[in-house]
């Protein structure tokens, strides 16, 4: 903020303020601008409206948007896309008295024009460099088409796969989720917001949105502060420390106060304690929804409660626009509070370079060069390969060999460009998506296709044709799962099982005696016990985006040896939810042999597939687990382990470190992930992997949210899945 910059040109250019000297600090610039703003103009900066369509909710703002922009009554627009439209809106903003440019935001969740795997799939790669790279490309394509703000990453931790929005996050673990959050923020924002290849990130949804009661969308969230601090808060905090420019408040209430008007969350935790300097935007209509929460009497009360709690910008609803002036005149909101919110927004406009050149993101030549470029598509392919999780591979039926000349391809999902794009890909060029069907044909294979089941009713169709396709082919590939729009926002489910007849179809196909490989296409953990039992191989292929088909083929034929692991537990029964690896011991620890323990009388407590699980075409052995003294004061110890590629193929392993605090002053989980390393090894090669043990690996938050590291015994566990670990103990003096 203290950087001295030459602003004479731009200030005069905008006719905003008179400056005596050639140089002015950025801070002075904003202060001078604020001094010139009327109350209406200030309030206008806090308003964000949607354009065209209802997108994620009704457009309650019944206002002439273009006219309001011209009058300086709007600070930001969402859902304006394409350089032409963005340019047009920006021109309107420059007709306002103070010529303050607009910020343009959009949900770019997994790619703008090029489509990347859904975020949960990317998280399965455990490849932080690659995750940062795709985030960088998301930003680059968005910025090339005029945008300067994307509403992501979503960093909500969730233990509940019924909640459809798990597809947008990084899964269940706060340590790993924090690393993904940092990578995505770095990728989206780079080092400099003014760089026209970057945009602002928006951390959402603050806070606890991933823990709605019963997995129901938009439902209440209630948890102890200790639970919040240890499991749900770390990802938001990590993203803020990584420099995220903006934060979105969540729809839900949090400990009985809606997040959008939650003084504890916004003013105290985010702004005061964490020192967040950016601005907070509400979620879609969530200021007005304070009335539905029955936390505000009316829209006016909602405006006062939200702004006083630290909510800077209102998305879509018009409570601020309509009532803030009155509220300030009545002394119910202080003008200082308004100024603080306006300042935060103007500062970001300045950091984006919009005062210098409001059209800097609207360059058609750059757009033509970047959108859908081969370089970005190539990244989409690499990411998609790294996101596919090999769940079953009985008798090593995979990888397929060149002996396979004909393939029975079953299931409409395998040829649906619409579904392959995933749930949140509004600006993606769907016609350019390579489906599995396309990719198999391009490989020159004989493809005997049959629908197998109806995509709407999920009932089997023409079983004889399907079985005939299988009998006349070398191998059977079956695409099962859910449609892309069955996960994402407003897609909560009470049953996350793959439909019964899809599962039975796999059993029928198995009777032909042909090897059956199942591709599970989904946006969340799904349940498929019959398939698990019957299929020869199962791959979780999520929704993989532009290069989905090619990536799946590369994994099927072993051009890419699968390396992904599950970032979220796959339950065996919907009644086990919420299910997660970091549960607590309880006073009556789960036991298969004893009754009166933490368990069920009618089902196992074991998931179908645990967190961190995923197979490869090779196997890895772990040996020589050791704890060595730390080499610096911040490092208490170093855990090392030797990992050996025991198979015949080059492969990548995700080495995982978990920690258990044996006894603590609050109850702690049986294990918590505290380190990951992705390594590549040739057949027969061994590598020693070392994890530093810092305070972060040993500490926790107590019930008053104080971070503590307590001396005593710890168990360090290392391995390639949360349920298959070697362990060693360590004492912190």
Which residues participate in catalysis according to the annotation?
A: 283
Hey, which residues between 406 and 465 contact ligand BGC (CB under 6 A)? none
- Residue from 113, 204, 565, 668 touching ligand BGC (CB under 6 A): that is 204
Q: Which stretch binds ligand BGC (CB under 6 A): 49-57, 141-149, 397-405, 527-535?
A: 49-57
> In angstroms, what CA-CA distances link 513 with 397, 470, 474?
13, 9, 10
* DSSP β-bridge partners for residue 253: 258
Tell me which residue of 309, 298, 304, 218 sits closest to 261, measured CA to CA. Answer: 309
d(Cα 369, Cα 38) in Å, to the nearest integer? 42
Q: Which stretch binds ligand BGC (CB under 6 A): 39-47, 51-59, 191-199, 401-409?
A: 51-59
> Measured from the CB atom, is 284 or 714 closer to ligand BGC?
284
Beta strands of 245-324 (E only): which ranges?
A: 246-249, 253-254, 257-258, 279-281, 314-315
Q: Is 56 in the site for ligand BGC (CB under 6 A)?
A: yes
Check: CB of residue 502 under 8 Å from CB of residue 463: no
- CB 382 to ligand BGC: min, Å: 27
Check: CB of residue 452 under 8 Å from CB of residue 552: no
> Measured from the CB atom, is 173 or 489 closer to ligand BGC?
489
> Measured from the CB atom, is 53 or 711 closer to ligand BGC?
53
d(Cα 511, Cα 592) in Å, to the nearest integer? 34
- CB 139 to ligand BGC: min, Å: 16
> Measured from the CB atom, is 110 or 386 closer to ligand BGC?
110
- Shortest Cβ contact with ligand BGC: which residue? 56
> Measured from the CB atom, is 283 or 351 closer to ligand BGC?
283
- Residue from 489, 501, 547, 672 touching ligand BGC (CB under 6 A): that is 489
- Residue from 29, 33, 57, 475 touching ligand BGC (CB under 6 A): that is 57
DSSP secondary-structure letter at 286?
A: T
d(Cα 142, Cα 666) in Å, to the nearest integer? 45
> Measured from the CB atom, is 246 or 721 closer to ligand BGC?
246
> In angstroms, what CA-CA distances link 721 with 208, 383, 563, 569, 611?
26, 21, 12, 11, 7
Q: Which stretch binds ligand BGC (CB under 6 A): 53-61, 223-231, 303-311, 425-433?
A: 53-61
Q: Label the pairing between strands 637-645 and 686-693.
A: antiparallel
- CB 426 to ligand BGC: min, Å: 9
Cis, bond preceding 538 (omega within 30 deg of 0): no
d(Cα 697, Cα 189) in Å, to the nearest integer? 28
Enter the tokens of residue 416.
Answer: 């649906």
Q: Label the pairing between strands 475-481 and 516-521.
A: parallel
Check: CB of residue 380 under 8 Å from CB of residue 374: no
> Measured from the CB atom, is 61 or 637 closer to ligand BGC?
61
> Measured from the CB atom, is 258 or 614 closer to ligand BGC?
258
Q: Is 557 in the site for ligand BGC (CB under 6 A)?
A: no
- CB 109 to ligand BGC: min, Å: 8
- CB 293 to ligand BGC: min, Å: 15
Q: Which stretch binds ligand BGC (CB under 6 A): 52-60, 226-234, 259-267, 659-667?
A: 52-60
Write down the H helix ranges in 540-591.
Answer: 548-556
User: Residue 481 — left, alpha, or beta (φ > 0 → left; ψ -120 to 50 → alpha)?
Assistant: left
- Residue from 27, 28, 55, 71 touching ligand BGC (CB under 6 A): that is 55
Binding mask 124-153 for ligand BGC (x = CB under 6 A): ---------------------------x--
- CB 119 to ligand BGC: min, Å: 12
> In angstroms, what CA-CA distances link 706 with 227, 238, 418, 700?
12, 17, 47, 8
Q: Which stretch binds ligand BGC (CB under 6 A): 55-63, 122-130, 320-328, 621-629?
A: 55-63
Give the list of residues 6+ apart from residue 71 with CB closer than 8 angstroms, or none.
Answer: 44, 96
- Residue from 104, 279, 284, 620 touching ligand BGC (CB under 6 A): that is 284
Any idea of the CA torsion for 462, 465, 466, 468, to the nearest 10 degrees?
Answer: 150
Hey, which residues between 648 and 687 contact ligand BGC (CB under 6 A)? none
d(Cα 310, Cα 263) in Å, to the nearest integer? 7
Longest distance between any two alpha carbons in the chain, whole Å? 86
> Measured from the CB atom, is 155 or 548 closer to ligand BGC?
155
Q: Is 701 in the site for ligand BGC (CB under 6 A)?
A: no
Q: Which stretch binds ligand BGC (CB under 6 A): 13-21, 50-58, 433-441, 665-673?
A: 50-58
Q: Which stretch binds ligand BGC (CB under 6 A): 54-62, 453-461, 464-472, 569-577?
A: 54-62
d(Cα 577, Cα 680) in Å, to the nearest integer? 34
> Measured from the CB atom, is 231 or 251 closer to ligand BGC?
251
Check: CB of residue 344 under 8 Å from CB of residue 312: yes
d(Cα 573, Cα 582) in Å, to the nearest integer? 18
Check: CB of residue 656 under 8 Å from CB of residue 680: no
- CB 151 to ligand BGC: min, Å: 4
d(Cα 275, Cα 272) in Å, to the nearest integer? 5
Check: CB of residue 437 under 8 Å from CB of residue 449: yes
Beta strands of 14-70 (E only): which ranges?
A: 23-25, 47-50
d(Cα 380, Cα 548) in Å, to the nearest integer? 9
- CB 286 to ligand BGC: min, Å: 8
Hey, which residues between 149 and 178 contact ligand BGC (CB under 6 A)? 151
Q: How far is CA 14 from the centre of its chain?
A: 39
Q: Could you give the angle at the alpha carbon of 366 between the alpha carbons of 361 and 370, nearest 5°?
A: 110
- Residue from 59, 107, 288, 672 touching ligand BGC (CB under 6 A): that is 107
d(Cα 562, Cα 675) in Å, to the nearest integer? 21
> Measured from the CB atom, is 315 or 540 closer to ligand BGC?
315
Size of the site for ligand BGC (CB under 6 A): 9
- CB 107 to ligand BGC: min, Å: 5
> Measured from the CB atom, is 126 or 284 closer to ligand BGC?
284
> Measured from the CB atom, is 79 or 502 closer to ligand BGC?
79
- Residue from 145, 283, 385, 501 touching ligand BGC (CB under 6 A): that is 283
> In angstroms, what CA-CA distances link 528 with 313, 481, 495, 496, 534?
44, 9, 11, 9, 10
Positions touching ligand BGC (CB under 6 A) are 55-57, 107, 151, 204, 283-284, 489
């Amino acid at each position: 903020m203290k950087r001295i910059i030459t602003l004479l040109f731009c200030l005069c250019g905008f006719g905003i303020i008179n400056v005596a000297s050639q140089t002015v600090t950025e801070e002075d610039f904003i202060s001078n601008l604020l001094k010139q703003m009327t109350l209406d103009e200030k309030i206008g900066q806090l308003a964000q409206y949607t354009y065209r369509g209802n997108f994620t909710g009704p457009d309650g703002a019944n206002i002439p948007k273009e006219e309001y922009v011209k009058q300086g009554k709007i600070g930001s627009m969402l859902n304006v896309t394409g350089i032409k439209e963005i340019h047009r809106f920006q021109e309107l903003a420059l007709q306002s008295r103070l010529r303050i440019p607009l910020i343009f935001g959009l949900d770019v969740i997994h790619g703008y024009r090029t489509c990347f795997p859904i975020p949960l799939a990317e998280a399965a790669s455990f490849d932080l460099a690659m995750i940062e790279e795709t985030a960088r490309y998301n930003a680059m394509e968005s910025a090339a088409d005029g945008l300067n703000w994307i509403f992501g990453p979503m960093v909500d931790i969730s233990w509940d796969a019924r909640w459809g929005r798990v597809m947008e996050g990084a899964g269940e673990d706060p340590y790993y989720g924090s690393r993904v959050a940092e990578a995505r923020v770095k990728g989206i924002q780079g080092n400099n917001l003014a760089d026209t290849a970057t945009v602002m990130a928006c951390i959402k949804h603050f806070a606890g949105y991933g823990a709605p009661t019963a997995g129901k969308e938009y439902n209440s969230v209630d948890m102890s502060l200790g639970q919040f601090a240890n499991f749900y808060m770390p990802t938001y905090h990590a993203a803020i420390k990584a420099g995220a420019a903006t934060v979105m408040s969540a729809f839900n209430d949090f400990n009985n106060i809606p997040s959008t008007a939650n003084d504890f969350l916004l003013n105290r935790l985010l702004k005061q304690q964490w020192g967040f300097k950016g601005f907070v935007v509400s979620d879609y209509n969530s200021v007005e929804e304070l009335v539905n929460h029955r936390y505000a009497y009316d829209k006016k009360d909602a405006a006062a409660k939200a702004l006083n709690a630290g909510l800077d910008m209102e998305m879509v609803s018009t409570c601020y626009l309509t009532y803030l002036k009155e509220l300030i005149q009545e002394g119910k909101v202080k003008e200082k509070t308004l100024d603080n919110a306006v300042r935060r927004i103007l500062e970001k406009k300045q950091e984006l370079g919009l005062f210098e050149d409001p059209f800097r993101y609207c360059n058609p030549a750059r757009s033509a060069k970047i959108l859908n470029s081969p370089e970005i598509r190539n990244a989409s392919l690499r990411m998609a390969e790294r996101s596919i999780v090999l769940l079953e591979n009985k008798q090593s039926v995979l990888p397929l060999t060149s002996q396979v000349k004909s393939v029975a391809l079953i299931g409409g999902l395998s040829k649906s460009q619409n579904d392959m794009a995933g749930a949140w890909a509004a600006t993606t060029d769907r016609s350019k998506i390579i489906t599995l069907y396309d990719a198999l044909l391009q490989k020159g294979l004989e493809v005997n296709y049959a629908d197998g089941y109806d995509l709407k009713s999920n009932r089997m169709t023409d079983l004889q044709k399907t079985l005939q396709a299988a009998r006349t082919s070398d191998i059977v590939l079956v695409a099962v799962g859910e449609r892309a729009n069955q996960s994402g926002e407003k897609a909560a489910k009470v049953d996350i099982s793959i439909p019964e007849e899809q599962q039975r179809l796999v059993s029928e196909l198995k009777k032909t005696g042909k090897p059956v490989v199942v591709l599970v296409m989904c946006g969340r953990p799904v349940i498929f016990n019959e398939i698990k039992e019957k299929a020869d191989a199962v791959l979780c292929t999520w929704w993989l985006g532009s290069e989905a088909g090619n990536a799946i083929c590369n994994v099927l034929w072993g051009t890419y040896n699968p390396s992904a692991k599950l970032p979220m537990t796959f339950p065996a029964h919907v009644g086990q939810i919420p299910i997660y690896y970091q549960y607590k011991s309880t006073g009556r620890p789960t036991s298969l042999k004893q009754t009166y323990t933490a368990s069920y009388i009618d089902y196992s407590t074991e998931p179908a597939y645990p967190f961190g699980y995923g197979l490869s075409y090779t196997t890895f052995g772990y040996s020589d687990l050791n704890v060595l003294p730390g080499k610096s004061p911040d490092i208490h110890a170093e855990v090392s382990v030797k990992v050996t590629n025991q198979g015949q193929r080059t492969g990548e392993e995700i080495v995982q470190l978990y920690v258990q605090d044996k006894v603590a002053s609050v109850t702690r989980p049986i294990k918590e992930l505290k380190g990951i390393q992705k390594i590549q090894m040739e057949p027969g090669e061994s590598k020693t992997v070392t994890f530093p043990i810092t305070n972060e690996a040993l500490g926790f938050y107590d019930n008053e949210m104080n971070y503590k590291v307590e001396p005593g015994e710890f168990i360090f566990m290392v391995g390639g899945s949360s349920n298959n670990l070697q362990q060693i103990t360590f004492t912190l003096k």
